[in-house]
Chains A and B, each alone.
Chain A
Amino acid sequence: MIAHSIFFYTFSLIAIFSAIMVIASKNTVHSVFFLILDFISISCLFIMIGAEFLGMIMLIVYVGAVAVLFLFVVMMLNVAQQKNQWFESTSDNTHIPIGLLISVVIFFELLIVVGGWKYKPNLLSSVSVGINQNITNTHSIGNILYTDYIHLFQLSGMILLVAMIGAIVLTYRKRSGIKRQSYLSQISREKSDGVSLVDVKSNQGVKINE
């Protein structure tokens, strides 16, 4: 139990610390790195409460795809050089009140949720679904996904295919005037294709590249 608490507090502290650092760090690239650290610690917390599927999905989707995408965007847009102006600017800080307002609202929402759950447990009735403790989350999700919802699973695949086709159709442009190297045509070139013997008459010259 003590080991469990140690792990829990370690991950929680790292998660909170990195969440703060995401908004506090002056370099945007560092912010994205802290975001990744945050995701990883949260996924560790998920795994600790027994939701290993959610944790792994979080790792794959958020760290593997979303955060990397953020990183690319940040690097491409070249905003890394722009200093984070939260603590430096004195004139243009109109966004701070709105940010504070939203944070206060979120804080009170959390307070209400946690308070209700703590002091009146039957206030938010949780759904009573029979959970089979003997099989893993992944197993039980698979049991449902590949039996009752197999057609939806397949159709979602079709949707992704259409999305892929659509993205390619709308962004692909054939550029003209690009010279591409083709090994096959280079190797299969014959002497007769490139070299020709011309009888040059005096004072007349030859035309090339006809």
Chain B
Amino acid sequence: MENINFILPEIFISLGIMFLLMLGVFKKNGSGIVYILSIVTLLITLGLIINFPSGQEVYLFNNSYKIDQLSTFMKIITIISGIFVLFSSYKYTKLEKIFTIEYSILILSSILGMMVMISAYDLIVFYIGLELQSLSLYVLAAFNKDKTKSSEAGIKYFVLSALSSGLLLYGCSLIYGFSGSTNFYLISENIHSSEYGNIFGIVFILVGLAFKISAVPFHMWAPDVYEGSPTSVTLFFAVVPKVAALTVFIRFLYVPFVDLIDQWQMIIIFLSLASMIFGAVSAIGQKNLKRLIAYSSIGHMGYALAGLAVGTNSGIQSSIIYICIYLIMNLGFFCCLFMMKRKDEFFDNLEDLSGLSKNHPIISLSMLILLFSLAGIPPMAGFFAKFYIFMSVIEESMYFLAIVGLVTTVVSAFYYLKIIKIIYFDTPKEKYDQDHHFGLKISLTVSTLLILLYFIYPSGLINFVSKINII
């Protein structure tokens, strides 16, 4: 019975969802209070997770649910970014008329799904968590039903994601059939590369997971969905599910399939190379900032996968650091997008940024910092993120991966610097509104400062991540 303490965060968040749903149903005009209470729910859940005694590994529910350093850290990151998303998009959701009780409840339930995914140590648990997460995301993508693009995004994401879930399930069933168990540990005991069914299963599972983090060649949905969904949902899409999917990647590759590293290493290297190259090249011609972020996130996922392909602890840790920093950069960038509004209308095209520095020097400065960081220019945090990845890649003498990574960094620096050029040197446009919500201001300040000042105390994050030892 004392084991129940270990899943207290999950229990609390599910009870929170049900309570907030009831509150929203019975209280008239309760969307505001539900929104604020869901932030409070996430904060309490965060507290419950941090409260978990560190350094312990606990298996729950017949060894199908694992709580360890990795899951605790990733859950903390997921929930913090969830809080930031809700915090920064308060006003946006109000102005876009998607400020209903269901909005925050769906975000909460997808975070619950991600927490289950992160802790999953069994194929069934993993799949259930994934479905809970993606079902909420389908609805969130189509949330603005008055806009055709949002509905289009919802349908596209639903159809393609359901297809990838099907492939994933097929892979899971093959793995179950050939290894005789759904438990990750038992799979790792019974899996052999001599049976082709296992390799087929791994390929299918990796395809499904690559779809979820939009790695090339399974990225087709990302630009359209990112562009069509409401910007607050795009922010959620761009950061939070990637954390969960990356954790699942780490778990799958390094627990059940760890002995088959020769089989999956090439797949991951290919996904990583293709994502880096495609993300860098195809973002150049984009006119819409949300599409551009979609392509840039494809590229960034390529770097994160490069860390996973290495097959060492330092590689995994560098991927985790990469995803943390990527997440903060994207949060800051979207805060800038939320600030580009004029008379309750939001702008998300590249040309709307032109000459921003004349009228809004502070927003432009933080955008400059964030874009430098996204491009990987020292001394911003983005540089260190890429640095750790390349370090671990070179340690294992995978020079080709490192060289392609460096080249694509240079290519992608082109379009990030192009945005800076537009902000600082083009002719100014009309002023944007100044009445920003305080949550938005705080989010932007915090994320920019974290990115800018990371180099002063990098060991804080590194020490935390270095406790995560998978292999």
B-side interface mostly: helix
Q: A165-B102, A165-B105 are in contact. Are A155 and B128 (CB under 8 A)?
A: yes
- For window 136-181 of A, CB contacts with B under 8 Å fall at 148-152, 154-156, 158-159, 161-163, 165-166, 168-170
Write out the residue numbers on chain A whose beta carbons fall within 8 Å of the beta carbon of B125.
151-152, 155
Question: Per-position contact with A for B2-44: 1 when CB-CB < 8 Å, else 0?
Answer: 0000010000001001100100000000000000000000000
Shortest CB-to-CB span from B451 to chain A, Å, is 34
**B139 touching A169, Cβ below 8 Å:** yes
B352 CB–A CB distance under 8 Å:
no
B385 CB–A CB distance under 8 Å:
no
Bound: A155/B136 CA distance, A? 13
4 tightest A-B CB contacts, nearest first = A166-B139, A148-B62, A169-B102, A155-B128
Most buried by B among A162, A169, A170: A162
B116 CB–A CB distance under 8 Å:
yes
Most buried by A among B100, B102, B138: B102
Bound: A151/B17 CA distance, A? 17
**A165 touching B143, Cβ below 8 Å:** no
Q: Which of A148, A151, A152, A166 contacts B135, CB < 8 Å?
A: A166
- For window 43-57 of A, CB contacts with B under 8 Å fall at none
Q: A152-B124, A155-B132 are in contact. Are A166 and B138 (CB under 8 A)?
A: yes
Bound: A168/B145 CA distance, A? 12
Question: Per-position contact with B for A102-143: 1 when CB-CB < 8 Å, else 0?
Answer: 000000000000000000000000000000000000000000
Shortest CB-to-CB span from A107 to chain B, Å, is 26
Q: Which of B61, B131, B154 contacts A159, CB < 8 Å?
A: B131
**A165 touching B128, Cβ below 8 Å:** no
- For window 72-122 of B, CB contacts with A under 8 Å fall at 100, 102, 105-106, 109, 112, 116
Write out the residue numbers on chain A whose beta carbons fall within 8 Å of the beta carbon of B142.
170
**A170 touching B128, Cβ below 8 Å:** no
B372 CB–A CB distance under 8 Å:
no
B129 CB–A CB distance under 8 Å:
yes
Which bracket fits the contact residues of B? 20 to 34
Write out the residue numbers on chain B whose beta carbons fall within 8 Å of the beta carbon of A154.
14
- Chain A residue nearest to B146 (CB atoms) is A173
**A155 touching B116, Cβ below 8 Å:** yes
A-side interface mostly: helix
Question: Per-position contact with A for B138-160: 1 when CB-CB < 8 Å, else 0?
Answer: 11001101000000001000000
Bound: A151/B11 CA distance, A? 10
Write out the residue numbers on chain B whose beta carbons fall within 8 Å of the beta carbon of A151.
7, 60-61, 64-65, 125
Bound: A191/B138 CA distance, A? 53
Write out the residue numbers on chain A whose beta carbons fall within 8 Å of the beta carbon of B139.
162, 165-166, 169-170
29 residue pairs A–B, Cβ–Cβ below 8 Å = A148-B61, A149-B61, A150-B61, A151-B125, A154-B14, A155-B116, A155-B125, A155-B132, A156-B128, A158-B14, A158-B112, A159-B128, A159-B132, A161-B17, A161-B21, A162-B132, A162-B136, A165-B102, A165-B105, A165-B106, A165-B109, A165-B139, A166-B136, A166-B139, A169-B100, A169-B102, A169-B106, A170-B139, A170-B142
**B106 touching A166, Cβ below 8 Å:** yes
Bound: A1/B469 CA distance, A? 64
Q: A152-B124, A165-B106 are in contact. Are A170 and B61 (CB under 8 A)?
A: no
- Chain B residue nearest to A148 (CB atoms) is B62
- Chain A residue nearest to B154 (CB atoms) is A170
Bound: A165/B137 CA distance, A? 12
Write out the residue numbers on chain B whose beta carbons fall within 8 Å of the beta carbon of A161.
17-18, 21, 109
Bound: A38/B109 CA distance, A? 40
Q: A155-B128, A159-B132, A170-B139 are in contact. Are A165 and B62 (CB under 8 A)?
A: no
Q: A150-B61, A158-B14 are in contact. Are A169 and B135 (CB under 8 A)?
A: no
**A158 touching B132, Cβ below 8 Å:** yes
Write out the residue numbers on chain A whose beta carbons fall within 8 Å of the beta carbon of B128.
152, 155-156, 159
Shortest CB-to-CB span from B280 to chain A, Å, is 36
Bound: A170/B100 CA distance, A? 12
Write out the residue numbers on chain A whose beta carbons fall within 8 Å of the beta carbon of B60.
151
Shortest CB-to-CB span from A109 to chain B, Å, is 19
- Chain B residue nearest to A159 (CB atoms) is B132
Shortest CB-to-CB span from A154 to chain B, Å, is 8
Bound: A158/B145 CA distance, A? 24
Bound: A50/B134 CA distance, A? 38
Write out the residue numbers on chain B whose beta carbons fall within 8 Å of the beta carbon of A150.
61
Write out the residue numbers on chain B whose beta carbons fall within 8 Å of the beta carbon of A168.
102
Most buried by B among A150, A151, A159, A168: A151
Bound: A142/B136 CA distance, A? 29
Shortest CB-to-CB span from A158 to chain B, Å, is 6
Shortest CB-to-CB span from B76 to chain A, Å, is 21
Q: Which of A155, A156, A159, A169 contacts B143, CB < 8 Å?
A: A169
**Further contacts, 6 of them, CB under 8 A, given A155-B128, A155-B132, A166-B139:** A151-B7, A151-B60, A152-B124, A155-B129, A161-B21, A165-B109
**B61 touching A162, Cβ below 8 Å:** no
Write out the residue numbers on chain A whose beta carbons fall within 8 Å of the beta carbon of B106.
162, 165-166, 169
